[in-house]
Amino acid sequence: MKEYELTVLIHPDLEADLDTPLKKVKDLVTTAGGEIISEDNWGKKKLAYKINKQDFAVYVYMDVKLPADAPLKISNTLNITDEVLRYLLVSVDEKGRALLAEDKKRAAARAESGDSEESNE
């Protein structure tokens, strides 16, 4: 199975009961043979332009593992789902992720060594 990033923009009117549309998306992933690794609700944000006469949307980001045929099934279903204004399903760039993790480690090491130098003076 391959790793993907799925970002879903949910209709802002559903913010009060977000569990229902999220359950639909999660069920869609699992019935396609995939699994959800992590989920992050980014909250309600203003859109850059109107989508279906809406200025805002609730952003939800998920890391998922999917078999080869699942992305097409998920895309076809999300295209006709009323609760979802937009979605983005992209495969994960492992090299890019490794570089980001390495950069974070370096930044943490620099911050740590900078703190110890200040305390020695």
Q: What is the 3-state secondary structure (H, E, C) of 31-97?
A: HCCCEEEEEEEEEEEEEEEEECCEEEEEEEEEEEEECCCHHHHHHHHHHCCCCEEEEEEEECCHHHH
**Model pLDDT, residue 92:** 87
Average pLDDT of adjacent 10-residue blocks, the chain of 121 residues: 93 90 93 93 94 94 93 93 93 83 88 64 51
Query: Could you name the CATH architecture of 2-93?
Result: 2-Layer Sandwich (3.30)
CA distance 114 to 121: 11
**Model pLDDT, residue 29:** 93
